[in-house]
Amino acid sequence: MAAPRICSVLNCNKPVSHRGFCSAHYQRWLKYGDPQGGGTFKGEPMRFLQETVLLFDEDVCLDWPYHCDSYGYAQLWISSVKGHRLVSRIVCEALNGEPPTPSHEAAHSCGRGNQGCVAPRHLVWKTRTENQSDRLIHGTHSRGEKSGSNKLSPDEVRLIRALNGKMFRADIAKQFHVGKTTVTNIINRKKWAWLD
């Protein structure tokens, strides 16, 4: 019986899966065109945090070049807690001390936390309400036209409200290709309540 073939990458002794590579190196070859591409050396993110991020003393954004969560926020694996922590919280704790309450959030004054910014000068402790209010200032909110489920513009919403009492709500809904409930919620300010 022939000995099992091993991965062609130097010092990898795992069995071959596809094209002469083990499964992990084959996946990297598919994604990066190099069986050893795309990897991060152990300890490199922590070193970047300590040697670059925490010493960064400029007003411009500093982007995290490693793992980010599905919302774009920088994350770091902490082996002692066996999980990821938000880098912004780690940095905010290091520079501003513990949060005033456990529910305080590390807020980004630049509005680019969801793009991986970890600049220390951009981070302060804020309540959830304060942090959400900042989204309006930064234009990163998801209400109105920016909502993923939105079909209407602010002008169309104003027109729907102007047509109230002049047309049946079912007819308004047909005209704007939305449901009658949506029209009712707009008129009663359950939706788009913030719009004049």
Domain extents in the chain: 1-35, 44-138, 147-187
The per-residue pLDDT for 140 is 56
Q: Do 95 and 109 meet the contact criterion of CB atoms below 8 Å apart?
A: no
> Over 50: is that where the pLDDT of 71 sits?
yes
Name which of 65, 85, 83, 62 is nearest 75 in CA terms: 85
Give phi and psi for 165, each to the nearest 5: 90, -15
Give the integer Cα–Cα distance in Å for 92 and 111: 15
> Over 60: is that where the pLDDT of 141 sits?
no
- Mean pLDDT, the chain, integer: 84
Helix (H, G, I), strand (E, B) or coil at 161: helix
Instruction: Give the tens place of pLDDT for each residue, 159-189.
Output: 888 888 898 989 988 888 888 888 898 888 8
The per-residue pLDDT for 64 is 92
Strands (E), 6-78: 75-78
Name which of 79, 91, 83, 194 is nearest 145 in CA terms: 194
The per-residue pLDDT for 11 is 81
144 pLDDT band, cuts 50/70/90, is very low
Name which of 100, 103, 52 is nearest 74 in CA terms: 52
Better-scored residue on pLDDT, 145 or 23: 23
Q: What is the pTM of this model?
A: 0.55
